[in-house]
Amino acid sequence: QAKRLGGDRIEAFRPAFKTHSSGKVELESDLRRAFGRNELSLAYQPIVRLADGQIAGFEALLRWNHVRRGPVSPAEFIPIAESTGLIVQLGQFALDEAARRLADWQKLPGQAKLFVSVNISSRQLIRQDLVNDVRQTLKLYNLAPETVKLELTESLVMDNPERSAKLLVRLKEMGVGLSLDDFGTGYSSLSYLMRFPFDTLKIDQTFLRGEAQPQRPIIVQSIVNMAHELGLAVVAEGVETDADAAKLKLLNCEYAQSYLYAPPLSAEEARRRLQERQVKRAS
Ligand code: C2E
Ligand code: MG
Ligand code: MG
Ligand code: MG
């Protein structure tokens, strides 16, 4: 791919790294070094309570600002981290950093129940130590367990249902929140998944974004109702319009997380919005 900038000047355009055979290997070794170089950080996307429009919590999302290449998308580096095992370190970093920020933010007026939600990938879950890591992190930052939520996808849980179930039960006993992420994109049935101790379901963006097929509202409504009957709270991801948000509110969907409210923010910006008690900035 090349981008023509007029005349005979052609600037090389860097597409996805995976198209370069060497790119992935290079990215892999760079990722190993990224820690020491302070290239990794977390962004925090508000999860908004639909009933009052306030920030109920944040999802912590890993960011990698590569020293030469600039921002690398998680869609690109998370799979590399997973296949190399680096995800374990990355995940520990994310958990610790998110917990540390949360402890600070909860001290703001009216924010004692604020939560943070951290993504967990399969390599982390099958490692025996996750339960201990979580326990120690809660202790270190003196956090109420229910204010820390772990997000897992259905495919992760279905990869190893027996083992996942055991670990999830131990985490549940500790009191942390368990969210089923990207719901509707995997292959498992909701009733099967309910054998796992989830307390929150996140409806995947694909049901709320883009062109509205006529069946979509029916699917969304059914998921929300079924989740509620099973005792789960619901987060709608990627809601694009105020009209859709209003419909979700009428369905008593508890939360929404999307660019409509706020993109992932720096920790400083997240704190500022909590202080102002506003999701969007009054500019
Ligand atoms: P996810 O957990 O489903 O996170 C939600 C993604 O949707 C985020 O992308 C967020 O920026 C994006 N998003 C939120 N609202 C909207 C919207 O209204 N429109 C659109 N188009 N997108 C929206 P992001 O940050 O690029 O993360 C992508 C994925 O990378 C995450 O999906 C998660 O699976 C993975 N990931 C990110 N951080 C971590 C981490 O710390 N650990 C693990 N294991 N995975 C992570
Ligand atoms: Mg997530
Ligand atoms: Mg998601
Ligand atoms: Mg996703």
For 102-122, how does the pLDDT look when each residue is reduced to its tens digit (9 = 90+)?
999 999 999 999 999 999 998
Q: Calculate what percentage of the chain has a pLDDT beyond 70.
A: 91
210 within ligand 1 shell (Cβ under 6 A): no
Pocket test for ligand 1, best of 90, 119, 157 (most atoms within 8 A of CB): 119
Beta carbons within 8 Å of 167's beta carbon, 6+ residues apart: 125, 126, 130, 131
Kindly give the number of the ligand 1 atom that is closest to the alpha carbon of 153. 34
Top mean pLDDT of 78-82, 84-88, 173-177 is at 173-177
78 within ligand 1 shell (Cβ under 6 A): yes
Minimal-distance CA residue to ligand 1 atom 3? 182
Amino acid code (one letter) for 180: L
Q: Minimum mean pLDDT among 71-75, 135-139, 158-162: which range?
A: 158-162
57 within ligand 1 shell (Cβ under 6 A): no
Minimal-distance CA residue to ligand 1 atom 45? 119
pTM, full prediction: 0.91
Ligand 3 centre distance from Cα of residue 73 (Å): 15
119 within ligand 1 shell (Cβ under 6 A): yes
* pLDDT bracket for residue 212 (50, 70, 90): low
Instruction: Compute the C-alpha angle 110/256/58, nearest 5°.
Output: 50
Kindly give the number of the ligand 1 atom that is closest to the alpha carbon of 239. 18
> By three-state DSSP, how is residue 265 classified?
strand
Residue tagged 């079924």 (tokens): 226
Ligand 1 centre distance from Cα of residue 61 (Å): 6
46 within ligand 1 shell (Cβ under 6 A): no
Task: Rounding to the nearest 10 degrees, give the CA dihedral for residues 167, 138, 55, 118.
Answer: -40
Q: Using CA of residue 125, residue 38, residue 149, residue 216, what is the dihedral sign?
A: negative
The pLDDT of residue 208: 85
Q: How many helices (H) and strands (E) does the chain have?
A: 11, 11
Ligand 1 centre distance from Cα of residue 59 (Å): 9
184 within ligand 1 shell (Cβ under 6 A): no
Element (H, E) at 81: helix 74-84
* pLDDT bracket for residue 139 (50, 70, 90): very high
Minimal-distance CA residue to ligand 1 atom 35? 74
121 within ligand 1 shell (Cβ under 6 A): yes
pLDDT exceeds cutoff 70 at 132 = yes
74 within ligand 1 shell (Cβ under 6 A): yes
Pocket test for ligand 1, best of 78, 137, 240 (most atoms within 8 A of CB): 78
